[in-house]
Structure 1
């Protein structure tokens, strides 16, 4: 009985450890995920940092662009245009907390894309922005 209990405890610990390991995501994980999603509708898609920068700094027909609040330099602190609240840098090299959890990344893409575009961002747009943020210096 004791061996069986020990085995169950070890198996449970392994499952928990695996879950913890998967919870720590990297910018490269998000880039790969969004590229793969984009390739479902465009098989040859490859993320472009250049397109990501253009997307980030363009108003898309509205008053705001992503850079309105986040600045054109993703390594710099921004400020929300309405509230004046400080926004930490977007570039993972300048702010390791960026692009670190699905919950946070999806929350902010969802909210900010609706503010800037009036719709959700496509996987291709997300991949391009992530590629640009990953290539931004400190």
Structure 2
């Protein structure tokens, strides 16, 4: 019986270790960047610093399908927004109002790709991304 008990305890310890490691990996992976790092990245890609004033104009300006970013995210986007077509609730976009905003590179890239195509009918340029991020970082709740 002592071997069985020892095996069970070892198995439980191993399972706990694996689960803890998995949770730590998911946590670290989910927050792989910061809004400031994203601003730096897109500013570097654009060859110029993002402009919060240009970002504000871009964010609020109507484009192609008569939508603006503000159509769904609100103006300013410091409160929960509502998707114009689906009515789905959208968390605040400004990092000061949403501590998860712009902390996951994969989500950021997906967000820009999808929303730029919806609003502009094309991909956003690196300069447009830098400007929008600069604007969003400048907002206070």
TM-score when normalising by structure 2: 0.77
Deviation at 1:46? 2.0
Structure-2 residue corresponding to 1:87: 90
1:110 alignment partner, one of 109, 113, 132: 113
Instruction: Note the residue ranges of structure 1 that are not aligned, 5 or more in a row.
Output: 1-16, 40-44
Runs of 4+ in 1 over 2 A off after TM superposition: none
Aligned-partner Cα distance in 2 for 1:33–1:46: 10
Task: Give the greater-gyration-radius structure (CA).
Answer: 2
2:39 alignment partner, one of 25, 31, 36: 31
Aligned pair count? 116
Instruction: Note the residue ranges of structure 2 that are not aligned, 5 or more in a row.
Output: 1-24
Deviation at 1:83? 0.7
Deviation at 1:73? 1.3
1:101 alignment partner, one of 89, 96, 104: 104
Deviation at 1:31? 0.2
Structure-2 residue corresponding to 1:126: 129
Over the aligned positions, Cα root-mean-square deviation in angstroms equals: 1.9
Structure-2 residue corresponding to 1:55: 58
Deviation at 1:47? 1.1
TM-score when normalising by structure 1: 0.79
Deviation at 1:60? 2.2
2:64–2:121 Cα contact (<8 Å) kept = no
Aligned-partner Cα distance in 2 for 1:134–1:63: 25
